Structures are given as structure tokens and as C-alpha cells.
Amino acid sequence: MKEQKVSYLKFSVSGMTCASCSSHVRKALENTGGVRTAAVNLATEQAQIELDAPVPAETLFHSVKKAGYEIRLETFSFPVTGMTCAACVRHVEKALQKIPGVYSAGVNLNSNKALIRVFEGSIQPGDLALAVKRAGYQLDIRSAAERADDVDKTKASRRRMVQAWSFTLPIMIWMLPHLLFNRHWPNHLIFNLGMILLALPVLLIPGRETLRRGFRALFYGTSNMDTLIALGTTVSFLTGPLAFFIPVANYAAISAMILAFHLTGRFLEESAKGRASQAIRALLDLTPKTARVRREGSVIEIPVELLETGDCMVVRPGEKIPTDGRIISGESTIDESLVTGESQPVYKTTGQTTLGSTINLDGFLEIEVTRTGKNTFLAQVIRLIESCQGSKVPVQALADRITAWFVPGILGLAGLTALSWIFIPGVMNSLLETGQFLPWVLTAGGRLTLAVNSVVAVLVIACPCALGLATPTALMVGSGLGARAGIIFRSGTAIQQLRSVKTVVFDKTGTLTLGRPVLTDIIPLGLSNERLLQLAGSLEQGSTHPIARAITDYCRQEKIDLLPFIKFKNFIGQGLEAEIDGQLVRVGSPNFVLPKDQTVSEMAGPTDNLEGEGKTVVLISVAGEVVGLLGLADQEKPEARETIAELRRMAIQTVMMTGDHRRTAEIIGTRLGIEHIISEVLPAGKVEEIKRLQEKFGPLAFVGDGINDAAAISQAEVGLSMGTGTDIAIEASDVTLVRGDLSTIPAAIKLSRATLNKIKQNLFWAFFYNLLMIPLAFSGWLHPLLAEAAMALSSVTVVANANLLQRQKF
């Protein structure tokens, strides 16, 4: 009996704190089908399993997750070479997904990159490269620095195109006497030899890579777009030598023309793809190469890669800030437009955070490094954009299934075409004759010549490229446009789901509002405004409450001198008390400042008015006598009202969810124009409210601060996080609005709709093209040259259509 093959897999597990935890993880793994044994090390937080049958990584992941723990994942992103069509993408993805420990693998034909998520510690890049090599392609696991000297793809494709046409144009000129006067100049023998000798360099020099990739795919038991071109051109070229021995037309010249058209299409594709990926290249180009740091009392210039957390960077006016940090000295306005999309320069001073690659406009700054390398905000943004561009949208599922069988199907159809001309030539001739009204239809010639004509046309007309480029090109353009506007999509699925959203639910505090109270009203009673603020601000110095900070910040702005105090007391949730100049001063809520059942007639009206506007009222008393009141409010963001109005114009319903009392919530919601208001919701109750809203309104988006609203963001079909890019983990949601600007929400929805529309248009065109052209080629109605030109045009059309997104305004 043959011994069963056993394999091992080692990976990291998070969430374990004791021996009981490791036991739970071990049992969960051993109860998974295909796992023979499992061992879990609590100290190293690693698990090792012995497999007696292949087990999908996703199955292992969910087994551990159900036990309450999590297998840690790490992400690799590497260029893939040798891909030319959607079939290639499928082959590479399948090769990677077969590797034990690979959780997911997505390949982007447009950027020629593979985004691979694996169990942390289970796989080395070399293992991935070997699997891809066995599939007939190359995974470039070198560092970015090692790849820096690689030839630019657009330049290389242009060079190959020029080389091909250098030989093909003389062929076409030489063929003119034959096409116009049916004369082989100077004679038939030299003409045939000339066609062969001029076509051969096209196949061997600029066409060598296409032929190599095509036949290598066959060697590995697969097929792709290059396989079709390689077979078509090879069959065409071989008719040249064979024409000296058997009655068949010399199609050697046609092989050169097919490759010339094909390489021209490749060049146009690369050029268009380059334009589609310019957003992410622009972000990569932002990072400064060097930084000036203070070391041992002097300022030196070092490569940005050598920066360490805690270093003191020195940034002069007009220079880029090398990496993320915190200002420790100086003040300046900073241009963040290239990173966050914020058009207006932002004023920053000591203690505030800065983003790497932004521009210091007019101040001298010393900045402490807080994040470097892959942990910087810009690196996170690039990582998310690449993740989105490497992902797929659900609408692409049908195209993927068709692509898996497309090239083998075309090879089968080419074989059927040849057999049809051999066994049922009468039927094929009848099909051919019905197309005689088309000037390019070839009806003259022997059976073998007509068979070659149809077979080559079938091979070169089919275009899996258009299917493969339909989605990634539009995703690349859409996600790039979003990044420039400060909108970061996590995946293609998020783009599709956001498009279908008909309701947007807003958390109030920090989302619709500034998230911090602001002093709005000063009403003194027998005192000046300055004296009232002086008393209140002096006591509030002793508190860290947000209301206290709002009052002291206002006093600081107005340059009001605060007074010393003694016998300070803090009554939590009520107010403050202390002696100033020998008198007892109280600051706080009306119930705290006023003795029980006592009212001040002069304050009653203003108090009711402020509370009616949803504001917080703070009373100030001296020696038991009320001397004034202050009104504070968490003000709406300036753009909130227009954002709600724009969503309503887009036929999207709006909901505000808050823990505030109903009266306060209704005042704010009505002022903003929000249709549905849900008040007095505790943080733990947000998920249930989201579920209830989903039952009532269908798919919805939830907009929160990305920190306190994680559960609600996860429950909604699309979660949007408001963030500044410095104090938020931008990977926490489906869509991150980098600037925290509400006006980008309608823009994000419009962009998602436009992007998905382009994807659908591209997929429709790709399906329509193939359904129309393949039958025409089979019937002999298409000349191989016309077929190849149409194939190149279809791919370019798809890419160009996606690039039209860049002309739209959102």
C-alpha cells in the first residue's frame, strides 16, 4: 500500500494568554478535517500542524476564530512577469492558492502585481516564487531597490513595436504589386523567399517573448493569450516554407503583420495602463530621499531609510517633511494636499502631529520622528490602494468563470475549424460564400489555404485580454482618483457595495459635529464679559473636562489673565468650587451653582433659550450670588448641512444616531436637515439599531470616527471612518475619509457609482466583442490581419474607457 504523503504547516496565533487558551486552539485545529496532529506553543504564540490531506487556509483560519482566537496574517505584494491576459491571472492565482498557508491571493493584470495574504511565519517569498515559476510565470521577490534598474515597460513595448514594424512595413510595400495587380515582383520564387526572410526576424526578435510565453504555457499544461498568438503566427509562418512543397498560400507575411499589430496593441495597452496607475506612482514619488536630523549637537543629512523613532528632524521653509512626526519646536503652515487631498494649507504648532511627504511652507520646524518606513501614514495609504487595486468586485465573478475556460475553448474551436474544412468543406464553403459582400473575405484558394485562413483568424481574434483588463483598469483609476481626493477604498467589494447604498447613518459626535464643546454664549449679570470669563477660566484651570478646556482655550485666545485660587474642590459631574480673593466662587451646572429650589429670574429666560438650542449651560456664582452664565455647544462641522443636502439630492436617506437626549438630538438633526433621528443610544446598542435600520431601509453605510464605532462599522454593509490620518488606524473600515471632511461622502458614493459603471461597460464590451467576432472568424468572414487589429483595438478600448473616469468630476 502506498504511504500517504504528510505535510507540515507552522504559523502564529494571537489572543492566547494561558495554557487553557493553547489547549483550545490545539483542539480546534485537531477537529478540522485533514489535520492529523496539532501542537501549540504558548510562549512563542505559534502552532504547528501535521496534515494528511490538503486543507484550505481559510478553513483553518475560521476553525481557530470560532474558538475565540486568530491566526495572524501577513501580506506580500510582488510584481509578476510573463502575464498577458486574464487566463494568465487565473493560472497564477490558482498556483498561489494551492500553497498550504496562503489565505488569499489576488493578481492584478493592470499593475502586474500579486497581493498575497499568508499565515504569518508559514511561508517565505521563495516558496511563492517557486510555485509561480512552476505555473510558467515569474514572481519578482527582489526589493524595490533591486528592481530600480529594470527597463520601463512602456519603453520596452515601444521598442518591440518599432522593431516589428521595421520589417513589416517593407513586407506590406512589397506586397502592393501582388494586391493591386496580382503580380509577384520580381518573380514568384523571390517574392516567397522575401516574405519568409523578412517575417522571420519579426518572430525571432520583437516577437520572441510572445512566442516563448505562449509555448511555455503549453509546456506547463496551461494556455493564455500569448498561446493563441504564438500558434496563429507559427501556423501562418510555416505556410511559407510549405508553399514550396504543397498547394497552400504563403502566409509568412501575415505572421509578421499579426505580430506587428499585436505588439502595437501591447504598446497602447501599456501606455494606457501607465496612465491608470499614475496616482499610486505619484504617491510613491512623494517620499523625500534624505532627511536633516540633529545628532550630537550638529545637523547632518542622512537617507530617509536610516531615520529612527525619536530622531529630531530639522525642516526648513519650502522643504518636504521626511516622515511622520510631532512638532517639538516652531510653527508653520503645512501643505498636505498631495497626501490627504486637503486643498487649504493647515496651520500647525508645537505638540501637533505632521505627516511625512507634506510640505513645510513658511516656518522653521524641529520635528520628533514618530513613525518610519511601512508604518507611516503614506505607506498605509499606498498599501490600501494596492490592496484595492489587487482585489476583485463581485460583478466580476462571471467573467472569471468564463476566463478559466476561454483560451482552452478557443483552442478547441480552432481545432474544430480545421476539422470542419477537412471533413465538411462544402458546409464551410457555403458559410464563406455568404460573406462575399465583404471586400476582405477570401474565397479563392485551395481547401488548405482557406482552412489556414479561418484557423489563424479564430486564434488571433479571441480576446481574453479585454475580459482581464475590464475590472482592474477601472479599479486602478477609481481608487487612484479617490486617493487624490482623500478617499481610501479598502477593496473592490467596498466600491460595489457603496454604489448600492440608499441610506447613510451618521454618528453625531465627532462626525457631524467637531467632537469638542465650543464656547458660544457669554451672558453676564452685573459684571463685564472679561471679568465673568476671568472667574470661570480661573477655576476651570483645575479641571481636564472638555467643557473646562473649551472655557480656558477661549480665555487664552482672548488673552485674559487668570487668577490664582485656594481651597479647590472638584465635584465630579457637577462643577468646581474655590476661593478667589477671599470669596467663594462656583462654576458648574445650574443644579450645582444654585441653592435648592432657588431661581434667578434674570437667568431663567436665557437658560431656557440655550437649553432649547441644545447647548450646555454653565452658571457662575460669587459668594452665593449668580453673576452670569456661559453657553457651550458641540458645533456642527461647517460642511455638514451641505453634505446632507447633497445626499438628499442624490436620493439617499440620512439618519443621525446619538446618545444625546431626544430634544437636543432633534434640534441638531433638524438644523442639519437629517430625515431620521435616533437618540439616547448607548454604544452597546448601536449594532442593534443598525440591524433594525437594515431591515427597514436595506443596505446602508455607517459613518463614524473609526475608533468608538467599530462594531457598528462592521455591521453596516459599508463602514466609513472619519480620520485625520494621524490618530486613526485607517485599516479599520471599508472606506476611510482621510481629512475627516463630510463633503467627501457624496463624492465617494459618486465615484463608486462611476467606477462600477465603467467596470460594467468594459465587461459588456468584452463579452459583446467576443460573441460577435468569434463566429465571424469561424465562418471565414474575417481576414487574420483584420482579426488581430480588432483584438488589439478591443483591449485598448477597455483601458481607454476606464481612463475616461479621470475626466469626470465628483
**Residues belonging to the active site:** 507
- Ordered DSSP codes for 771-806: HHHHHHHHTT-S-HHHHHHHHHHHHHHHHHHHHGGG
* Cα 90 to Cα 93, 357, 404, 466, 797, distances in angstroms: 5, 37, 7, 14, 22
Dihedral, CA of residue 297, residue 300, residue 302 and residue 306, to nearest 10: 0
Element (DSSP H or E) covering residue 81: strand 73-81
SS3 58: helix
CA–CA gap between residue 681 and residue 669 (Å, rounded): 15
Question: 25: which 3 cell numbers?
Answer: 486552539
User: What are phi and psi for residue 622, nearest 5 degrees?
Assistant: -125, 120
136-168 b/e (C-beta count within 10 Å ≥ 16 → b) = bbbbbbeeeeeeeeeeebbeebbebbebbbebb
Dihedral, CA of residue 707, residue 712, residue 715 and residue 719, to nearest 10: -60
User: What are phi and psi for residue 787, nearest 5 degrees?
Assistant: -60, -45
Cα 497 to chain centroid distance, Å, stands at 14
Q: Do residues 52 and 36 lie in contact, with contact meaning Cβ atoms separated by under 8 Å?
A: yes
One-letter amino acid at 549 equals: R
* Cα 327 to Cα 172, 298, 310, 376, distances in angstroms: 68, 19, 12, 16
Q: Name the nearest CA neighbour of 256 among 148, 172, 333, 334.
A: 172
Q: Do residues 519 and 508 lie in contact, with contact meaning Cβ atoms separated by under 8 Å?
A: no
User: What are phi and psi for residue 626, nearest 5 degrees?
Assistant: -70, 130
SS3 660: coil
Dihedral, CA of residue 683, residue 686, residue 687 and residue 691, to nearest 10: 170
| Lateral strand order in the sheet of 312-315 | 298-303, 290-295, 312-315, 365-369, 325-329, 353-354
Q: Name the nearest CA neighbour of 529 among 539, 519, 543.
A: 519
Q: Do residues 438 and 799 lie in contact, with contact meaning Cβ atoms separated by under 8 Å?
A: no
Q: Do residues 536 and 575 lie in contact, with contact meaning Cβ atoms separated by under 8 Å?
A: no
Q: Any idea which residue has 513595448 for its cell?
A: 157
Q: Do residues 22 and 64 lie in contact, with contact meaning Cβ atoms separated by under 8 Å?
A: no
Considering only the C-alpha atoms of the chain, give the largest distance between any 2 of them, rounded to a whole number of Å: 121
- The residue count of the chain comes to 810
User: What are phi and psi for residue 611, nearest 5 degrees?
Assistant: -65, -35
Give helix then strand counts, H and E, for the chain: 28, 30
| Nearest-5° Cα angle at 489, 487 to 490 | 145
Question: 789: which 3 cell numbers?
Answer: 487589429
User: What are phi and psi for residue 561, nearest 5 degrees?
Assistant: -75, 125
Strands 583-588 and 365-369 come out as: unpaired
Kindly report the number of other CB atoms within 10 A of residue 441's CB atom: 19
Kindly report the number of other CB atoms within 10 A of residue 542's CB atom: 14
Q: Name the nearest CA neighbour of 257 among 791, 777, 778, 784.
A: 784
Question: 584: which 3 cell numbers?
Answer: 467663594
Question: 221: which 3 cell numbers?
Answer: 499544461
Q: Do residues 210 and 234 lie in contact, with contact meaning Cβ atoms separated by under 8 Å?
A: no
